[in-house]
A and B are shown apart, each in its own frame.
Chain A
Amino acid sequence: MNNAKIQQWLIGIFSVLLIVSLMIVATVEIKKTREYKPEIDIDKITARCITCHEKENIAVKQIDAWEESEHAVMGIGCFECHEAKDGDFDAQRCPESDFLIARHPTPKDCAECHEQQVAEFANSKHAHQFWLFANADRAVYENPISTRHGCEQCHQVGNIWPDGSVGECDVCHAKHSFDLAVARQPETCGECHIGPDHPHIEIYNESKHGNIFITKGGEWDMGYHTADNEPIPIEAPVCVTCHMDGNEKQPMTHNVSARLAWESQSPWSYRTVWDEENLGSWEVKRERMESICKSCHAPNFIETYLVTADLVNLQYNEIRRMFVYWTKKLTNDSLIDRLKADGKFYSNPVLNGWDEVPELEMYHAWHHEGRRFRHGAEMMGADFTQWHGIWDLQEDMVELIAWAAEHGDKEAEEWVESNHPSKFAPYALYDIPGSAWGIPTKTNTTPFVYKDNKDYWDRIKANVETVYKKGLLAEDQWDLWMKRYENKDHYLGLKYSSDVDSTWNFYKERNALDTKAFKEQAVKLNLPGKSFWERKK
């Protein structure tokens, strides 16, 4: 082979080698700029755990989850959390090594590094198993095995461990990735805050907040840290944004009770007194929440919105007062009985009871409908305040009183027989002139109670003033309410009602066309082929 040939072969071979190998290297390197997989340094103990778990095929996906975690990036391996001492309730000798490991790290373990977060959590109502104090006998209705994967799964969030620590961090922080994005996802809260008794995820999903999240949230980076009092980086709030995350003025907290002003899960709505010595009064807690709201909303909007929600909570109490009155009366009159065994009662006429219709109505009116009514109003879930709330509450009330009438209660009979429309408001009312949404010009021309009671607003004012003086409304809320009261023709829109008659009449004419159409197409339709039943007769 001559020199030229050798040169051509060398150039050819090395050209291919250089192009192929360096292009592959350049490709691998460019891919790294698109990968956000954290670099991790695996220590010797962790390496042993991983090797063995992979060999035995035990929970191997958890290794992947850990590799994605910030723990892994920071060099926190298996043993830092799973270390145990002899005698620990969950200590186990690993069969393939001499390691004594903790099967279930508890908040006490997490507190080794996350002391503040664990302490905040322990001071929140997430950590409070309140039902065990007041409602333990509900277990007569639901058998134990059903509660294992029912109640207990969610209420594990407040478990008291044998080591004395309280809570379960991985209820929200999926083990072992502890991914902030997962913890912040509304569906994480919705694992428990769902269903007929507290449909918070459903309420959120139907709110404008939820709608924006569902539409755009897929593009948001939900794994952000808020510890540095930085602006909220997402366009609309998720559950955690309002209840836990920080903004410029509020620090982030693991105490979900720090911003709640009501105990509206309770049979009666009352202003919270939870950990007042550390968290302050309900007004301080409300200020915290409002400070988050103000990241996106004008103060006047949220103040009006929240005082209206507060009045819904107070209105619920007046409705509940009816249920309590009737179940107590029916119990006293021996029309319903309490559950009893060995001299101990297992139902309570004002709290729970399940074998008689009034008891069930009362229970639902608190535990299901009553919560939906209140929580819908607090979190922009209009349908839950309306159809799943007040409508169901009124139905419960009508059914309860009708049951009492059927069983001979004279007062109930009188109510049933009454034809007066105000029978559906057998309790005191709260109200506020207008809403946070704007000035309606025609809406407030229709309510019966407005037309039937010339002194309606004076009576409402007396009720609102009473609760204000009792400390259930703050001073600025009362001022806001009074401002509206004194300008109610403006806020109710009544002073503008006649100004919009031309627009109103336009739709009125359309409505007349609609009425005519449905009468012609449906009401007056008379088919020649009569019913088969009629022919039989």
Chain B
Amino acid sequence: MIQSLADGILVGAILSLGAIGLTMVMHILRFANFSHAELLSIGAYSALVFDALFSGILPILANKIGPFSMTWALTLSMFCAMGVTGLSAMLIDRFVFKRIREKGDELSMVFASFGVAMIIRNVLGLIFGLKSQLYSNDIVFAVMISSDPMLLIKPDQVFVLLAALLIMLVLHFVLSRTTFGYALRAVAENPSLAEVSGIRLSRVIALVWIIGGCLAAAAGVFYGLNNHINPVIGRDLVLPIFAATIVGGIGSVYGAVLGGFIVGIAANMALLVLPSGYSPAVPFMIILALLLVRPHGLFGEPQT
């Protein structure tokens, strides 16, 4: 029970990071982006490449930090991966979504995101192979926090949770204290009015993609650190991340954070009563339950 809760919180932190970017894109561009979860894969794989690169150039970087399996090289790689993923998110928008948007068809965007997801997932499979990979082959032992009730936690899990919370805190300050944060909210409220006030719409949209990509990359690296990296990360995570945004209410960043934790915890708790084979179906049950009770999510507002 306690163990499920602890694992759920960790998964929740990863989902939250993914959901924040998705909810911002869905709010401003008004389409369900099925390719968002693929950004997590891009992040995880580019960190893998940078990690090999940095450890090769400076072997000293490959030393572990304290009790974690995280190395300095991987930490550096994570920031590089965030950059790469943010940039790819922006480029995908420029080459695909922006051009379809300009034709003025919202529904085609959903559809295009299906196609984009398909391309990214399979190109990654083609480049890196279909097998699972790991950042580190060392076995990290879990530390027993208490024996009754049984609670085992890996040091990495604590690190990931803290790092995710730190990233969310930084984002909170960016959104609430900077001009960009105000501009973003203005665009979300009323794009044309925001443009009249001198906000460059295209720049805000590009920045939203970059931020979404950065957070997704961090989530991808954290996911890879706790599980393994394979080309179908996106396929496995797309539904939980959507569930998190819907629970939080589409467009609410804080809702997405909360939604991520709720979905993570609920999914782990559900496994106490359901056979583990059913775990991919749990996010959908959460979505259904929520649509019955509160169709616009916890923090969302009805939108047309």
Specify whether A and B are partners.
no
